[in-house]
Structure 1
């Protein structure tokens, strides 16, 4: 019986995992391989699942992390995919706060041990985030280091945003943590599929626990706007984001604009992409010890101001 390949996509929030997944899926489909995806989100709603094209079997794990609170569900979803479809490969996109080895352990279930073959752990790293990691809390620094340490392939992403000198410095630091993994500099997570498929699995090393929920106090907050909001007020709000909010993603509509925008925010940088489909204006906030009540009150007030101020209509 042919075993199904499994790849674990790891990396901290905003590093580029979903962009990488989109490129991988495109190349896999061009090769005619039968692909499925398991996507994990910290929050109770899915945003990144839109990146998976129709026809690709998708299982979602929401409101938790596959490396701890949802590990049993990961086993169930993986088993379902293997039994429901004739697959060549499954890609597991973890949350940015997941420990890859704990995810690997969850994949090694007696339910399907003979049916799958974990090919590789791929960690994608934001070069800028790596350089300023000292600003993060100690548990998060430890998590990012663990994600690097246990990767078979490390994609040092966003190198177009740093100097060649800084790139060499980061490469040296990464090599000191992981001497055996393949290190690949990338822009926009753009790589050939062969880069990750030909990487060799490392022997599993001892690892430190760095769970998102139990150790890092990572939480998610979901907010839905019932009406469009003013873009300037929204950006003024973004300017107040504390360093403990690592990621915001979702959809947003602005007053005076017909289109809906896919919205991404990481490390103080917002990004808006116009989309043609109409979806709810829903945002997912991921961070350390989020104050749900304060966020809800601030965003509700932002919407009320957008509606009540005649200059914003």
Structure 2
């Protein structure tokens, strides 16, 4: 049996991992190959799993992080995917607070060696967030640095608004932390799949452990809307009331100004909307540090028209 190649998609919350996943799956299907996906969310609800077509094998690990509390489950789910579906490629989309080396270690389990090969770490980094990382907690900055340091392929994403001087700073940081890495400046995580296929993992150095609940105080909660909200008031809330410690929001909303449901993505102060044509529950997943859940829910409830 041919071994499956493993792609580990790492990167902080809202960096663009799911966008990259969608593109990789399109390319895998175009080639007629057999992909499988393993997704991890620290909350109890996964919104990103909607990005995986129904005919592609998918395993979800919720309510924890595969780099610590769910590491044993990660090994078991990878083994099941291999035994039940014999994929040619397995794409692991880690939660944004996972350490890529812990995921790599799980992939190198002796039980998995007959089934998988060449685990590759692809780190997707939100370039504006990296350049202003001093605004993040010490633990979050540490994790972000580790995601850069141990990448085999580094995507400096969201570089459309980055100046030439800032690009030079990104290159300087990259060469200081991970001089062996293959790196690209991207928008929407666009990368040639043939480049990924040509890469191999390089030797990893020492790493700093960063764990949810121990050092990294990231929490998640789900807010359900009772009806449509004003888009203008929602975006005003994002600008003026939403705490800076919200790293990511994603979910389904309806706006009173226009009929229909949208999939809302939010990271680093910028919301994006995609039309959603299936009936979905009106709820969003909010991830961040030092969040007052009761206060946030009260603020969001006041936006309902």
Q: 1:134 to 1:199 in 2, by over 3 A?
A: same
Matching of residue 280 in structure 1 with residue 262 in structure 2: no
Instruction: Report the Cα distance in structure 2 between the residues aligned to 1:235 and 1:153, rounded to whole angstroms.
Output: 34
Instruction: Report the Cα distance in structure 1 between the residues aligned to 2:257 and 2:179, rounded to whole angstroms.
Output: 53
Structure 1 alignment gaps of length 5 or more: 307-313
Residue aligning to 2:225: 225
Partner SS for 1:124 = strand
Partner SS for 1:78 = helix
Instruction: Report the Cα distance in structure 1 between the residues aligned to 2:205 and 2:257, rounded to whole angstroms.
Output: 55
Q: Cα deviations across residues 206-265 of structure 1 (Å, max 9, x unaligned)?
A: 111012332111110101112222223322322211111100101101224321010011
Residue aligning to 1:309: none
Matching of residue 262 in structure 1 with residue 263 in structure 2: yes
Residue aligning to 1:11: 11
Q: How do 1:110-189 and structure 2 match up within 5 A?
A: 110-189=110-189
Q: 1:119 to 1:197 in 2, by over 3 A?
A: farther
Instruction: Report the Cα distance in structure 1 between the residues aligned to 2:226 and 2:63, rounded to whole angstroms.
Output: 22
Matching of residue 238 in structure 1 with residue 238 in structure 2: yes
CA contact (8 A) 1:222 1:284 kept: yes
Q: Shift of the alpha carbon at 1:63?
A: 1.7
199-208 vs 22-31, which moves further: 199-208
Partner SS for 2:64 = coil
Partner SS for 2:18 = helix
Instruction: Report the Cα distance in structure 1 between the residues aligned to 2:213 and 2:184, rounded to whole angstroms.
Output: 30
Q: Cα deviations across residues 107-135 of structure 1 (Å, max 9, x unaligned)?
A: 22233222111431000111111110111
TM-score (norm 2): 0.96
Q: Shift of the alpha carbon at 1:40?
A: 0.9
7-16 vs 114-123, which moves further: 114-123
Instruction: Report the Cα distance in structure 2 between the residues aligned to 1:123 and 1:256, rounded to whole angstroms.
Output: 38
Q: Shift of the alpha carbon at 1:41?
A: 1.2
Matching of residue 302 in structure 1 with residue 299 in structure 2: no
CA contact (8 A) 2:104 2:119 kept: no
Instruction: Report the Cα distance in structure 2 between the residues aligned to 1:148 and 1:261, rounded to whole angstroms.
Output: 32
Instruction: Report the Cα distance in structure 2 between the residues aligned to 1:42 and 1:267, rounded to whole angstroms.
Output: 19
CA contact (8 A) 2:118 2:200 kept: no
Q: 1:118 to 1:226 in 2, by over 3 A?
A: farther
Instruction: Report the Cα distance in structure 1 between the residues aligned to 2:162 and 2:303, rounded to whole angstroms.
Output: 35
Residue aligning to 1:42: 42
Q: Shift of the alpha carbon at 1:32?
A: 1.0
Partner SS for 2:303 = helix
Structure 2 alignment gaps of length 5 or more: none
CA contact (8 A) 2:246 2:288 kept: yes
Instruction: Report the Cα distance in structure 1 between the residues aligned to 2:191 and 2:33, rounded to whole angstroms.
Output: 18
Matching of residue 194 in structure 1 with residue 198 in structure 2: no
Instruction: Report the Cα distance in structure 1 between the residues aligned to 2:272 and 2:279, rounded to whole angstroms.
Output: 18
Instruction: Report the Cα distance in structure 2 between the residues aligned to 1:253 and 1:268, rounded to whole angstroms.
Output: 20
71-80 vs 228-237, which moves further: 228-237
Q: Cα deviations across residues 144-170 of structure 1 (Å, max 9, x unaligned)?
A: 110011111101112211122221221
